[in-house]
Homo-oligomer: A and B are copies of this chain.
Amino acid sequence: MLSERRLQVLRAIVQDYVGTEEPVGSKALTERHSLGVSPATVRNDMAALEDEGYIAQPHTSAGRIPTDKGYRLFVDKLAGVKPMTAPERRAIQNFLGGAVDLDDVVARTVRLLAQLTRQVAVVQYPSLTRSTVRHVELLALAPARLMLVLITDTGRVEQRMIDCPAPFGETSLADLRARLNSRVAGRRFADVPRLVEDLPEAFDAEDRGAVAAVLSTLLDTLVEENEERLMIGGTANLTRFPHDFPLTIRPVLEALEEQVVLLKLLGEAKEPGMTVRIGHENAYEGLNSTSVVSVGYGSGGEAVAKLGVVGPTRMDYPGTMGAVRAVARYVGQILAES
Contact = CB atoms under 8 A, between A and B. Distances in A.
A137 interface: yes
A253 B233 contact: no
User: For this complex, into which size category does the number of interface residues on chain A fall?
Assistant: 20 to 34
Given A137-B139, A157-B149, A239 B235 contact: no
Contact of A159 (B139, B157, B249): B157
Contact of A149 (B137, B224, B229, B242): B137
A250 interface: yes
Interface of A: 100-101, 103, 134-135, 137, 139, 141, 147, 149, 151, 155, 157, 159-160, 224, 229, 233-236, 238-239, 242, 245-246, 249-250, 253-254, 256-257
Contacts of A149: 137, 149, 151, 157
A159 B154 CA distance: 12
Contacts of A137: 137, 139, 149
Contacts of A100: 224
Contacts of A256: 235-236
Contact of A257 (B101, B139, B155, B236): B236
A151 B151 CA distance: 14
Chain A residues touching B, majority SS: mixed
Given A137-B149, A139-B135, A139-B137, A236 B253 contact: yes
B224 A253 contact: no
A16 to B, nearest CB: 25
A103 B100 CA distance: 20
A229 B239 CA distance: 25
